[in-house]
Structure 1
């Protein structure tokens, strides 16, 4: 409750002026040459996307950035007068929260449905993925054998007592992972897994995914839960220390019931009261285009989402796997159960 109160307060404090931009609705209700974007992504690569979209369409992107729950609270408060056209988040669970709050609308786009695989989009068309990231593990190859982390279930075994690092349990990436486990295994087995992993922590959860990877390199733990692109970014970034760390560690790709690793999305949906709906659909279609997919994988080290799109050269060595085919909407649907299990297990 304290977290929700803080988020609501932060949402109220967000203003369009904070980004030095305005977002007027078209006076006659028709689409103007503007797109009002509420985004929870904060990557440098995204500016390249906005610039290219503006260049190709002449539509100006006016954006508000914030945490997903802040932006959702803001749209709730704005109601039918919200200027938002598109909501973007870096996790399917966050997109589901917006959908569950009635803040998104169905999009019927042949281009999107052709480009984005069925399991990477909400079944009714309320949101679409435009990039993928696997929730997998970084490990120390001097201490861990690949066959010991071949399946997510193994992370909860006594073998890894005091050997695992992870970020906080209420982080949406972990909520989505547990949501996927609930869908695949059922509640009892997923609950036992959460309890086992929590008991296997080398330290109380702290920091982000890259902090967990660094903790493995420092000997604090042997295995860390992480999103793939964080590790790949460390391996290819400008920080020499992070490159050195990544060179000594490995990425492991546990399978879920033998069907492949759990893969999440970054994605977006058209808002329920979008004043520029036509522009909003164009923007989502652009994100699925070959040019945009190339930017996402080359500059942010994510896996592309669109059919036929290839990972960048730096990403390709980590892309030789078949992802679990579960529809990403299931992560959010199971989110409340996942949070309950995580909290009960003491995964703080």
Structure 2
């Protein structure tokens, strides 16, 4: 390994260590969670769990890729008991690296569409890919039934927003590559580029640009639209600038468009958690996982973050699409396939998008 490459690796891991510095040192009685979910979601749920059980939870934050790198570097010496990931692709990669323990069947009793086929991780919440649009500028009759037809919509040239460097976009493209093939996906990316889309590093500024009339449509996740209109906290770790100021504007000119039933443009993206091979606190760690799919925690995620629960007893806010309808419009997909991220990144590099 050359000195420059080693220096970069040391710098990266030192930066991550600084990120974790604010976390307390874990004692043997603590459960340590490595979280790719944001503080806005996690901290309140951790406090609720600690108050209910008397157990202590030490959370260490980072994005999924950083946390996977840290766990690989730490190896058997990792203090982590649980990995709470923002993407199932990260969990599938952790499983591929033999980091995960098999979960008890009682924690895998969820809708088949969200379940892990490996039995090594469990779903916690669900987000859906959607097309956001400005109703002052767009008639839904002019929108395509499939996201695959979006590149043909030349009337939107220069008026489309997307986030090609964002993790949920990677999962979307990985699914497209799996279901439609690499050649079709490459052609779709090229066609989208012909529309001269506006690229954003994250979703909130893209939604703001749409509301401001700078673009007309945008590929995003459903809850960004709801958070702008109805408030709430973000659920992803990504160090992005969220809405400049707290926004609650039900009349904001941004609405949600769903493609035809089963279309990739409606893809359900699952967040999840897993018990790690390095865990020394299995009993308490499993208790925390059970709490995350409890009525209390699932209702909190729906009400505050506007993500979909994975249990069917939660009453959703009336502005969210019914859970059964949302599930039906998403394509069937084995989320373990999201571990195949490398080929997706290669496609995006070839297209000059990352």
**Under TM normalisation by the shorter chain, which class is it?**
0.7 to 0.9
The aligned residue for residue 151 of structure 1 is 146
Aligned length: 336
The answer for the alignment partner of 2:214 in structure 1 is 220
Q: Could you tell me which residue of structure 1 aligns to residue 22 of structure 2?
A: 19
Structure 2 CA distance, aligned partners of 1:241 and 1:133? 21
CA offsets per residue over residues 208-248 of structure 1, 9 Å max, x none?
Answer: 10111112222322111111111111111287884448621
Instruction: Report the alpha carbon displacement of residue 206 of structure 1 after superposing the two structures with TM.
Output: 2.6
The change in CA–CA distance for 1:8 and 1:309 in structure 2 (over 3 A counts) is farther
Q: Measure the CA separation in 2 of the matches of 1:101 and 1:5.
A: 25
Counterpart in 2 of 1:302? Answer: 307
1:27-74 Cα deviation digits (max 9, x unpaired): xxxxx4x21011011142322211221223222111111121221111
Q: CA offset at residue 99 of structure 1?
A: 2.4
Matches of 1:89 and 1:232, distance apart in 2: 22
By how many angstroms is 1:119 displaced?
2.5
Q: Which aligned segments of 4 or more residues in structure 1 are displaced greater than 6 angstroms?
A: 2-5, 238-241
- Rounded to whole Å, the distance in 1 between the matches of 2:6 and 2:347 is 19
Question: How big is each residue's C-alpha offset from its partner over 1:149-190, in whole Å with a ceiling of 9 and x where there is no partner?
Answer: 4321122214333221112x2321111001111222222222
Distance 1:233 1:4, change over 3 A: farther
Q: Helix, strand or coil: the match of 2:113? A: helix
Residue pair 1:151, 1:256 contacting (<8 A) in 2 also = no
Aligned equivalents of 2:313, 2:61: Cα separation in 1: 30
Shift, 1:86, TM fit: 0.5
1:210-249 correspondence runs (5 A): 210-237=204-231, 242-244=247-249, 247-249=252-254
| Aligned twin of 2:123 | 129
Deviations 1:275-321 (A, max 9, x none): 11222222112111111100111111111122343323453589853
| Partners of 1:165 and 1:212 within 8 A in 2 | yes
Cα offsets for 1:259-287 (capped at 9, x unmatched): 88101022111112111122222211211
Q: What TM-score do the two structures reach when normalised by structure 1?
A: 0.86
1:206 counterpart (169, 185, 200): 200
C-alpha distance in structure 2 between counterparts of 1:4 and 1:343, whole Å: 24
Within 5 Å, give how 1:309-320 maps onto structure 2: 309-316=314-321, 320=325
Summarize deviations over 1:101-121 as a string: whole Å, max 9, x none.
3322221232x222x222213
Aligned to 1:29: none
> Aligned-pair distance for 1:123?
0.9
Q: Summarize the alignment of residues 267-306 of structure 1 with structure 2, pairs less than 5 Å apart.
A: 267-306=272-311
For structure 1, the 5+ residue unaligned runs are 27-31
Task: Check the 8 A contact 1:259/1:324 in 2, yes or no.
Answer: yes
Query: Could you tell me which of 34, 40, 52 is aligned with 1:56?
Result: 52
Report the TM-score, using the length of structure 2 for normalisation. 0.85
Range with bigger deviation, 211-220 or 239-248 = 239-248
Q: Which deviates the most, 327-336 or 209-218? A: 327-336
Q: Residues of 2 paired with 1:201 and 1:275: CA distance?
A: 52
Q: 1:3 to 1:209 in 2, by over 3 A?
A: farther
RMSD between superposed Cα atoms in Å: 2.9
